[in-house]
Amino acid sequence: MKGERLLRRVGDPAYGVARVGCRPRDLTRRLFPRLGKANRIFSQGLENLTGFFPRVGSKAACLASSAGTLALLFFQALETQAATPLAQNHSIVFHNPDPEYYVEGPGLARLDDGALVAVAPVVPREQWSKERRAAHSRVHILRSTDGGQTWQPGSALPYYSATPWTHKGALYLFANKGGTASRNDDLLLLRSLDGGKSWSEPVTLFKGHFWNCHTGMAVRDQHLYWAVDDLALGAKRGPRLIAGDLAGDLMEARSWRISEAVPFPGVPEELTNPAFAKLTSQYLEPNVLNVRGQLRVLMTVKPKRQTTAGLCAVLDAGDSGGKLDLKFRQFHPMPGGQLKFCVVWDEVSQLFWATANAVVDDQGVFDWWEQGSKRGNFSYATTGGNDRRLLMLQYSLDGLNWFQAGCVAQAGKISQSFMYARPVIDGNDLAIICRSSVNAPNQHDADYATFHRVTNFRQLALKLTPESEP
């Protein structure tokens, strides 16, 4: 750095500030023009130490040498200082050491007694998926009674993915089987009355090729709403809304309804870069929100293999008591919308909170992604739209316009990740489980499920509602 070289010369007794002939504040302003207030504070300190830097004298040169060294260390520290993530420190929920399998999208639920129950699916990697997924996929259920610091195994189930939720003291689990003709089969429901140690026989709610990981659910008028992807549509895979009658027997299939699928409508060309026109697009992994009485579905959108980041799909849902209605409404900006995000409602703050992944270079300005793809440890993309290092926390009044609360956790290498997170409100904190690549083959095929805690999360939000006016 030019500034560092100049400071070293200034701090050299043989050269001395005498040769520069300027006040400290002029020198620091010249060398570090972007540091603003820090310049004024430090230059005042230099003046207190040396007075006016004279043009001659060995004592002045000596003082200048000390001041120059201090300045160099001071500004190096300032320029290399990085923001601290909100919950970089984490505990290990589950570790999968087998490189032929990976940790899929995890789930998390809080029981009435304060215990946390985690779900960590482990499935075969892509090259072994078709032959193994039906028989070799496992969902691991773990439990923590100390706020997520330690985790104890509870049970294991023969499913590809699973999503936990609670109702009236019972723990429920949506589950999908590993399929043969398609990656996943059927939507099942199980119930546990002992916190996940044992489970009922599964009830098949709907037969077909359905899948989702732990995304947002909503409750309205004594009904639970969630959504799944219908994989039977192939490249046009789209969501189906499901509704369960909370006043009925949830373990009876007749208590549940499902909408027709909404096939992927395609992303308008104007929202993508023509340089990537040959790449494919899709939408998936729906969240359901209750926005002031209106049911809304938000979906991950991957335009041209995520070469346009920060976009989600918005669908409007309706339920008049009979057939469920689901219609595509629009595409809308959503920070992190290019990868799975999860939205939860907080009654205390009256805000939606979401975990999502930010990217730094979705169209490959840097060659990191191409080099990673050649090495084999950056997968499913040759640009940075599939970067999964930066897990962010954000909040919203309306479920459409999002404000950043901060970075939850940051991985260092492009082969690493904190992704597919599920946040759960735990008192004044957010408890978060992540699918995490630490020493995994790539950023997608994770080897860990990790647990993070954002303390006093509501204090991270601005007051977004306007003040009353006369």
Of the candidates 292, 267, 420, 288, the residue with the CA atom closest to the CA atom of residue 355: 420
Residue 406 CA to residue 457 CA, distance in Å, equals 10
Backbone angles phi, psi at 136, to 5 degrees: -110, -5
Q: What is the structure's pLDDT at 35?
A: 47
Distance set, CA 378 to CA 290, 434, 446 (Å): 36, 19, 12
β-pairing, 238-245 vs 223-230, is antiparallel
pLDDT tens sequence for the chain (470 residues):
444 443 334 334 333 333 344 454 554 455 444 445 444 444 454 444 444 333 334 443 444 445 555 555 454 554 566 899 999 999 999 999 999 999 999 999 999 999 999 999 999 999 999 999 999 999 999 999 999 999 999 999 999 999 999 999 999 999 999 999 999 999 999 999 999 999 999 999 999 999 999 999 999 999 999 999 999 999 999 999 999 999 999 999 999 999 999 999 999 999 999 999 999 999 999 999 999 999 999 999 999 999 999 999 999 999 999 999 999 999 999 999 999 999 999 999 999 999 999 999 999 999 999 999 999 999 998 899 999 999 999 999 999 999 999 999 999 999 999 999 999 999 999 999 999 999 999 999 999 999 999 999 999 999 999 999 99
| Reduced DSSP (H G I as helix, E B as strand, rest coil) percent helix, strand, coil of the chain, to 5 | 20, 40, 40
Residue 214 CA to residue 423 CA, distance in Å, equals 10
Q: Are 273 and 364 in contact (CB under 8 A)?
A: no
Answer CATH for 91-460 from 3.20.20.10, 2.120.10.10, 1.10.3720.10, 3.30.2130.10: 2.120.10.10
Q: Are 229 and 211 in contact (CB under 8 A)?
A: yes
Q: What is the structure's pLDDT at 103?
A: 98
Q: What is the structure's pLDDT at 316?
A: 98
Tokens linked to 350: 């009256």
- Count of C-beta atoms within a 10 Å radius of residue 302: 25
Q: Are 298 and 289 in contact (CB under 8 A)?
A: yes
| pTM, entire model | 0.84
Q: Are 86 and 407 in contact (CB under 8 A)?
A: yes
Residue 42 CA to residue 322 CA, distance in Å, equals 70
- Count of C-beta atoms within a 10 Å radius of residue 184: 25
β-pairing, 294-302 vs 282-291, is antiparallel
The full set of domain ranges for the chain reads 2-80, 91-460
Q: What is the structure's pLDDT at 382?
A: 83
Q: Residue 342 forms beta bridges with which residues?
A: 355
Q: What is the structure's pLDDT at 82?
A: 82
Of the candidates 258, 396, 232, 386, the residue with the CA atom closest to the CA atom of residue 314: 396
